[in-house]
Amino acid sequence: MATRSRGRRAVRAGTALVAVLLTAAVVVYGVWAGYLWVFASEGAVPPQSRIPDLPAGTEIVGSTTECASGGCWREVSLAPAPHSSPRELAETLGLERTEQRYPWSLRDPHSVRAWADADGDRLVVSLRYWGAELTP
């Protein structure tokens, strides 16, 4: 009888510990996401990591932050893989005709929109948080 009681206490303690840890994680993430939401400014730009997955052989050759009266955006210059054109790279990324919207992620709880323009033998992908107006 004592062994069964001890086992139940251990299960309850383990369950309580898991519940406390999950609650703490949710609270910490909520505070962090709230902080980002409240203190987001028009100068905020998505991190470079929000670029869609690049095909093999594609290289990032530069990254800048540009700003205008409507806010800021990140421009990432890409060199397509050998024997590929900027247009083909844009098609692969789904950016050949229109801008794309990428949903939020755990590390960056903002939706991001992306669009691309060819610049000679490079493709320039621009990233901006979804709520900002498109003014580049």
| 49-84 pLDDT per residue, tens | 888 889 999 999 999 999 887 788 999 999 999 999
Write down the residue that tokens 């309850």 correspond to: 12
pTM of the model: 0.67
- What are the backbone dihedrals phi and psi of residue 121, each rounded to the nearest 5 degrees, phi first? -95, 15
pLDDT at 133 exceeding the cut of 60 = no
DSSP track, 71-113? EEEEEEEEEPPTT--HHHHHHHHT-SSS-EEE---SS--S-EE
Domain ranges of the chain: 1-39, 48-129
